[in-house]
């Protein structure tokens, strides 16, 4: 049995939490490969080391004195070293960091690097630097084939290793960061490369909630969820892990467990290819505010295909990703994120109006999209009817409806002002 674990920043934010993490790892001898984020916040007032390092890098770039921030960063690591009696030579490590301080990716990656170096010593695990195993192409994409090869060259199944998350390197050795929260992806890549039996992602919540606790009081936890459902929910704003985490593991079906460092015996949420539970109709509800619909009315004699093609090309020119295209016979809407079109909206409208087959363009702003996701909705009549009647009873007007034939999610659009009430109504009426 081989388990890859990843601990997020809040799980390792001070020496006490280092102790807690050690206990968790030692409780199961299969936890042989461990990935760490950089020291996170101890409480709300605190700072994440990664944020401090980005700030430090900005100071370096604009040639502003950075001593105070550097001391803040150093203090956090020195405190852990002292409290846990570690041997790591932090003087030397920080000397090297200062010598290379001009490179932002290198500097910011030092959060994960130092946290993992200290953890490796504290756990008695071997340290493998992510720069030697996570390989990028020069266009910034991950070279998965080379990465898997490098990991297997360095890793022998008996080893117990610690790997820093969030970064890798180009073939010339220069450090390259993943996107924010990317340590989750590092863990998934390692799980795939060594064919782990399980990937455990430790964070500071028990798992995924059926709906956001910011909207619904005491929502239920999701016990089991499929990779596809999770993609839908993460895309719609449910953010416990990085939305790309499952990509390396889903086609080889390595189960992902979301667990809580501060409540480690709780099972958490288990993400697999086919979740077994068939009782819950709705697995999760998530949504996002601030979309805009660009409504197009076309001339009755023109073909819709050509007009849609024209409109999509205009949006492509402005690099605006599309969420949904509800259509009727002579009109259709293109739903996009408001913040992504704000700057260009008048240019877009004027480009659209240059096509003489488009007879009207109007906008509906302040839309919210809500995804009701559930693998068990397939072939079950009456779910949409129930959603619509719940919203109707609560006086909520539906602006948009979309579902594809896979039936894994129903997306509805409401006005921003109805967003929270719509989620509450659906949760209370179907899940509770
Ligand atoms: N420390 C990085 C961040 O704050 C990466 C991570 O935590 O996964 O985004």
Q: What pLDDT is recorded for position 102?
A: 96
Atom of ligand 1 nearest to the CA of 8: 7
- Alpha carbon separation from 341 to 124, 312, 351, 363, 418 (Å, rounded): 51, 13, 13, 12, 23
For residues 390 and 116, what is the distance between their CA atoms, to the nearest angstrom? 50
Domain boundaries, the chain: 3-272, 284-431
Q: Is the whole-model pTM more than 0.75?
A: yes
For residues 159 and 126, what is the distance between their CA atoms, to the nearest angstrom? 8
Pick the CATH number of 3-272 from 3.30.590.20, 3.40.1160.10, 3.60.10.10, 3.40.47.10: 3.40.1160.10
Atom of ligand 1 nearest to the CA of 183: 8
- Alpha carbon separation from 119 to 30, 39, 134, 169, 223 (Å, rounded): 17, 11, 20, 22, 30
Q: Whose CA is nearest to atom 5 of ligand 1?
A: 181
For residues 35 and 163, what is the distance between their CA atoms, to the nearest angstrom? 5
Which residues lie across from 417 on neighbouring strands? none
CA of 36 from ligand 1 middle (Å) equals 9
Q: What pLDDT is recorded for position 278?
A: 78
**Residue to mutate, 53, 104, 112, ligand 1, most ligand atoms under 8 Å from C-beta:** 112
CA of 241 from ligand 1 middle (Å) equals 11
For residues 231 and 244, what is the distance between their CA atoms, to the nearest angstrom? 8
Atom of ligand 1 nearest to the CA of 38: 1
Grouped pLDDT means (10 residues each) for the chain, 432 residues: 97 97 97 98 92 98 97 97 98 98 98 98 98 98 98 91 98 98 98 98 94 95 94 86 93 96 94 85 95 94 90 95 90 95 94 95 96 89 92 95 85 96 96 90
Q: Quick check: 119 and 160 in contact, CB under 8 A?
A: no
CATH number of 284-431: 3.30.2130.10
237: phi > 0 → left, psi -120 to 50 → alpha, else beta; which?
left
Q: What pLDDT is recorded for position 43?
A: 86
């Amino acid at each position: 049995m081989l388990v890859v674990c990843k601990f997020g920043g809040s799980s390792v934010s001070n020496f006490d939490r280092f102790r807690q993490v050690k206990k968790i790892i030692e409780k199961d001898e299969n936890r042989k490969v461990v990935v760490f984020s950089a020291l996170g916040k101890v409480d709300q007032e605190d700072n994440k080391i990664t944020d401090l390092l980005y700030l430090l890098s900005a100071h370096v770039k604009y040639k502003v004195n950075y001593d105070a921030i550097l001391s803040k960063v150093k203090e956090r690591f020195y405190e852990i070293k002292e409290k846990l009696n570690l041997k790591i030579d932090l003087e030397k490590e920080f000397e090297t960091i200062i010598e290379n301080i001009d490179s932002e990716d290198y500097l910011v990656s030092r959060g994960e690097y130092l946290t993992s170096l200290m953890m490796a010593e504290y756990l008695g695990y071997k340290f493998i630097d992510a720069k030697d195993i996570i390989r990028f192409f020069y266009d910034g994409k991950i070279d998965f084939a080379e990465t898997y090869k490098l990991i297997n060259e360095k890793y022998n199944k008996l080893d117990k290793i610690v790997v820093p998350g969030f970064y890798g390197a180009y073939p010339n050795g220069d450090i390259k960061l993943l996107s924010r929260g990317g340590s989750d992806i590092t863990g998934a890549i390692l799980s795939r490369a060594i064919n782990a039996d399980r990937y455990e992602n430790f964070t500071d919540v028990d798992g995924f909630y059926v709906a956001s606790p910011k909207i619904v009081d005491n929502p239920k936890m999701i016990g089991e969820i499929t990779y596809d459902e999770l993609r839908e929910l993460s895309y719609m704003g449910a953010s416990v892990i990085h939305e790309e985490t499952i990509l390396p593991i889903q086609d080889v079906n390595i189960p992902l467990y979301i667990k809580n460092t501060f409540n480690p015996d709780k099972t958490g949420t288990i993400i697999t290819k086919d979740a077994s539970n068939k009782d819950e109709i709705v697995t999760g509800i998530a949504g996002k505010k601030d979309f805009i619909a660009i409504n197009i009315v076309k001339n009755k004699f023109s073909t819709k295909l050509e007009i849609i093609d024209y409109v999509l090309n205009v949006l492509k020119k402005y690099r605006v990703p599309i969420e949904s295209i509800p259509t009727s016979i002579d009109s259709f809407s293109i739903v996009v994120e408001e913040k992504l079109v704000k700057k260009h909206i008048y240019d877009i409208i004027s480009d659209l109006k240059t096509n003489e087959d488009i007879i009207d363009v109007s906008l509906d702003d302040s839309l919210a999209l809500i995804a009701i996701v559930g693998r068990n909705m397939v072939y079950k009549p009456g779910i949409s009817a129930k959603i619509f009647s719940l919203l109707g009873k609560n006086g909520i007007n539906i602006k948009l409806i979309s579902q594809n034939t896979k039936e894994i999610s129903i997306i509805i659009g409401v006005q921003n002002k109805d967003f929270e009430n719509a989620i509450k109504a659906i949760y209370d009426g179907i899940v509770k």
